[in-house]
Amino acid sequence: MNTDKSNVLFTRACETIPGGVNSPVRACRNVHCDPLFIASAKGSHITTVDGMECIDFIGSWGPMLLGHAHDDVTKAIAEAAGRGTSYGAPCGVEVLLAEKVCKALPAVEMVRMVNSGTEATMSALRLARAVTGRDKMVKVFGGYHGHGDAFLASAGSGLATFSIPGTPGVPACTVKDTLLVPYNDLEATRVLFEKHGADIAAFFIEPVAGNMGLVLPEEGYLQGLRDICTQYGALLIFDEVITGFRVSYNGAQGRFGIEPDLTTFGKIIGGGLPVGAYGGKAEYMKRIAPAGDVYQAGTLSGNPLAMEAGLATLGILEKSDYAGLEKKVGTFVDALAQVLRGKGLDVQYTHIASMFTLFFTDKPVRNYADVEKASASIFESYYKQMREMGIFLSPSAFETAMVSFAHTDDDFNRTLDAAKKLKF
C-alpha cells in the first residue's frame, strides 16, 4: 500500500497538532505504524489521500450505521446548511429529533442535546449527584465514558477500590469518589454497594461493553444491576453512546428489556456529525436548567445540521432490517475466526448486531482482565497485514469493529480472502 501522501501529512500534522492527531487512538501507536489520512468515504468504503480504497470496519467509531455519505443524510445536511449552520436559538428539528429518540428508547421520557458523548456522561453524572444528594459513582474496569475527569480512573487489584487518576492533570480528589468493579461480576457489585451504597449516586455502565473490545453482558447481569441500584437508591445509567440505535433500534435497553434511570447517547443520533445527548425519566430530567436547578449549557447544542442528519438517519433505521444485518455479520465473523484458527491461532470472538471483536486468546472473554490476556503482538501483525490489503480496522485491540447496512457480500468475501493470505 502506498502511504507517501499520508506520511507527509502526518509529519506536517505533528508540527501543529499534538501527536499529529485530534484523538489519540488515531495515531496507530498501539500497532507501531503511522495513520492513514482519508480523502473521502462512500458506503462501506473509504479512500486514502494516496488513492487506496479500503473496506471500512471502523465506521467513524460507530456513527456510520447506514454507511458513509448516505444520499438521504447528505441531502438533509446540505439543505440544512443552506438555511444557516448555527442559530444559537431553538429550531424545530430539535423537537422532532427529541421526539424520535423518546419514542424509540423505552426509558427516555425527556432528552437534552449536547455536542459529544463526553458532554453527555459528564452532565448525566452531575444530574445523578443532584438527584440523590450523593457523590460517589461506580464504573467497571475498562469501561470508558468519555474523558471527563471523574471517569478517567484506574484502580489496583481487588474486587473494588477507590481510584487513582489515570492521567496527569486529574487531581486525586476528583476521582476519589469513583469506585470500580469488574464487568459481569454481580457479587463484586453487591459487596461494593453493601459497603458504600448510602453514598453512591450512580452506576455507569455500557450495557454491552464496547471500549474493551466487545464484551457481552452475561444472562441476568443487567437485571442484577437494575435490582441493586433500585435497592440502594442509586441511579442506573446506561451509556448507549455506542449501543444506542446500533444493537437494536430501541437500543440495548430495548433489546435486553432493562430500563435505566438515565441514558447517554452520541454517534448515530447525529448521523456522523458531532453530537451527544442524555435523557431519562422526566422526574429527573426536569431538574435540568432552565426547568430546574442543575445547570448545563452549550452554545452549539441542538445544532441544526446535526439534528437534521440525526433525524434523517433515525428515519431510515426505523425501517431497517436489523435482524438481517446481525445474521450476516454473525456468519461473516464466524467464518473469519475459522480462517484464523486454521492458521494455528487461538481466537475468541464476540458478536452482537453489527459489532464484533476478535480476541487472540484461548480463554473466553467476560471482563477487562480477560481482554488484557489477549495477544497484542498477534493483533498488531493481523492489523498491519489486513491494512496492507485494503481492510481498514481499528488500530487497537480494545475497540469494536463496526459494520454498516452498506456492507455487501462482496465486502465480506474480500475480507475473508485477505485473511486467508495472512502469515504469522
pLDDT tens-digit map of 231-270: 999 999 999 999 999 999 999 999 999 999 999 999 999 9
Class of domain 321-391: alpha beta
pLDDT at site 154: 54
% residues pLDDT > 90 (the chain)? 90
Q: Which residue is catalytic, options 100, 136, 267, 328?
A: 267
* CATH fit for domain 71-317, picks 3.20.20.70, 3.40.640.10, 3.60.10.10, 3.30.830.10: 3.40.640.10
Identify the band that residue 162 occupies on the pLDDT scale cut at 50, 70 and 90: very low
Q: Which residue is catalytic, options 56, 136, 139, 144?
A: 144
pTM for this model (two decimals)? 0.95
**Is 267 annotated in the active site?**
yes
What number is the average pLDDT over the span 31-47? 97
- Residue 266 and residue 261: Cα distance in Å, rounded? 17
**Is 249 annotated in the active site?**
no
**Is 149 annotated in the active site?**
no
All structural domains of the chain with their residue ranges: 71-317, 321-391
Give the CA radius of gyration of the chain.
21
Q: Which residue is catalytic, options 56, 177, 185, 239?
A: 239
Angstrom distances, CA of residue 70 to CA of 273, 317, 323: 13, 12, 21
Judge residue 59's burial from the number of C-beta atoms within 10 Å of its C-beta, 0-12 exposed, 13-18 middle, 19 or more buried. buried
- Residue 404 and residue 370: Cα distance in Å, rounded? 28
What number is the average pLDDT over the span 342-346? 97
pLDDT at site 65: 98
Beta strands in 172-302, from DSSP E residues, in sequence order:
178-181, 200-205, 235-239, 262-266, 276-280
pLDDT at site 155: 37
Query: Fold identical between 71-317 and 321-391?
Result: no
- pLDDT tens sequence across 93-150: 999 999 999 999 999 999 999 999 999 999 999 999 999 999 999 999 989 898 888 8
